[in-house]
Amino acid sequence: MRRWGHRQTLLALALLLVIGGAVGWTLTHPPLPPLVIPTDTPAETRWDQWGATAGGSRYTEAAQITPGNAMHLEVAWRYSTGELGRRPESMLANSSSETTPILAAGALITCTPFARVIALDPATGREKWVFDSDIDPTLRIPDQYVCRGVSQWHAADQPPGTACATRLFLATVDMRLIALDAATGRPCADFGTNGTVRIDPGPVHHPGEVKLAGPAAIVRDTVVIGTMVLDNVRAQAPRGIVRAFDARTGRERWTFDPVPRDGGPDRDWHGDSRRTAGAANVWSVIAADPVLDMVYLPTSSAAPDYYGGLRPGDNRHANSVVALDGSTGRLVWAQQLVHHDIWDYDTPAQPTLVDIDRDDTRVPALVQPTKQGFLFVFDRRDGRPLFPIDEVPVPQGGAPGEWLSPTQPRPRLPRPIAPQALSADDAWGFTPWDRAKCRALIGRYRSEGLFTPISTQGTITYPAASGGANWGSGAVDPQRQIYYINTSRVASVITLRKRAAEAGGSVKLSATEDVSPMAGTPYEVKREWLLSPLGAPCTPPPWGGLTAIDLRTGKTLWDVPLGTINDRAPIPLPFDLTYGTPNIGGPVATRGGVLFIAASMDRYLRAFDMHNGRELWRDRLPGGSQTTPMTYTTGGRQYVVIATGQHLWFQTPRADQIIAYALPMK
């Protein structure tokens, strides 16, 4: 971490100037109201998969915690995974905590960034069993060690209590899919070879260029996984193959390549698609509908991200929602959300499946948030848009050799959940001095709104490639049909530079920028945040937000900042500077009317009133909070659980704790 210096001294002076405009002078705390606990809540609730359900609802019927009592929440138990003392510094420094636990076989199941699976008593946090996948400590993952969570499957033809009747599936960064008995943590010997299927990533530039990070999708008796391909290393990147396996045997059932290679009607590559070997991979989380026997893939951009001259055409099915038959892998429908992506605007989040009332009919729908700040809503049976989508003209004039789409899709509703244009007049600063610096900085680069071509001059992307939305996705109240989503709202500058003859083949990282080689193209790419001399974003706050949207009408119900910047201030502040922060992770909705989310850079777990966005409660976490919480009721008591730890992107503090919150026991 960089030490405080001249920039931080200036920031301290600027903060003193804006104290009068700060939001929330919280110097005293009013007494808590009496604790009232509803009695009409289920004694036991479920959280079966990473997103609560296979369709990623991130919703629970638990209703003991309400807007009237959430301020009474307290720590119920803590558990340390012990990873801080178990791993070498090289692994710890290159890891991120992004896991969300699930409930399976009467236990709370989680995984660490290093693919240790841990089962805990959900009421006490007592350890039941541990499985270590034995990731090689000498393995050098160039991006990050991560495990977002495990998935579970039940054998309908086996009685409860039978070994491996309930299985957990763990996907590892070293390309293994492992099946475990949910009751004991022992490998299921009949799956693959002694419980493991090893996946061939194909030709790779170096170990870790392809890895598994997201939880598998389960649809009936099929296990479906995507891959994470390291961005911008080379044009001839590995292929973004999606694979499906038999849940019992591990036998491969089908594969799907999002880049059509047979010249058929789905192909939209002007020229030979083999010129770009791959990407368009699924690094985020797949959603599944077991009733329809369909899986829904959020695909990423074709390789490399920021120059597409070698892959002319719309590049379908990159940057799309792709619906496949779960049993066969057959393409059912696809909707492309970005044509010929050169902005790293991957489809970043698990689609959310929810039924929506339309014209006296309940429609099985899919909601897909995007990095650029759109929400697309489709009939998940056939891909029909539930709100009209227009093809709108976008800026032209790309770098020499580039191919650009003349239009891009834009839904008429809901309105964008993040700002999408930045001019010099929009520049923000703590003081007139740094605002003027930001005005000059914005004027230096191309900034013509969303989809401004990436250039050698330098192009402002707003939202940045981090979003808008990211992998945390949203949560939905299925009764009220309201969708809740968090977003980042900052800008970056992307600059193409001529590749030097001696250019290397690896990504160069620093605290403020990175340079990627894009080998095989005429350019390398530099990415940096658009910051003032004080180190704050040049974009107007809030820099992170939380939004509620009515899915029946497309109307935005409320939008509030998410996070404070107090942690970034060089002096202690006696108030909340609620400007929002960039965030990673997602929200959780409850029948009790309370939304839980962490995600922000200030290390708080928060509770919000789902009806109006009012913050009800928060608690400071010991480490980074770039994970999605979950909640459940067991033994008549509702718990809210979150994993806390370092996140590589945000450089948040390290920790290895799982923390459960609950209302006080009477």
Active site residues per annotation: 344
Q: Are 414 and 554 in contact (CB under 8 A)?
A: yes
CA distances from 273 to 257, 556, 595 (A): 12, 40, 44
Residues 6+ apart with CB under 8 A from 78: 125, 657, 658, 659, 660
Give the chain's largest Cα–Cα span. 71
Which residue carries 């405080």 as its tokens?
4
Expressed in angstroms, the distance from the first to the final Cα of the chain is 45
String of DSSP letters for 312-357 = -S--TTTTEEEEEETTT--EEEEEESSSS--S-----S--EEEEEE
Half-sphere exposure in the Cβ direction for 217 (13 Å, CA): 32
Half-sphere exposure in the Cβ direction for 459 (13 Å, CA): 28
Half-sphere exposure in the Cβ direction for 231 (13 Å, CA): 23
The closest alpha carbon to 278, from 210, 223, 347, belongs to: 210
User: Both tokens of residue 284?
Assistant: 């985020």
CA distances from 221 to 40, 327, 457, 462, 560 (A): 35, 8, 52, 42, 41
Bridge-based pairing state of the strands 589-590 and 59-60: parallel
Q: How far apart are CA 463 and CA 465, in angstroms?
A: 7
Q: How far apart are CA 547 and CA 562, in angstroms?
A: 10
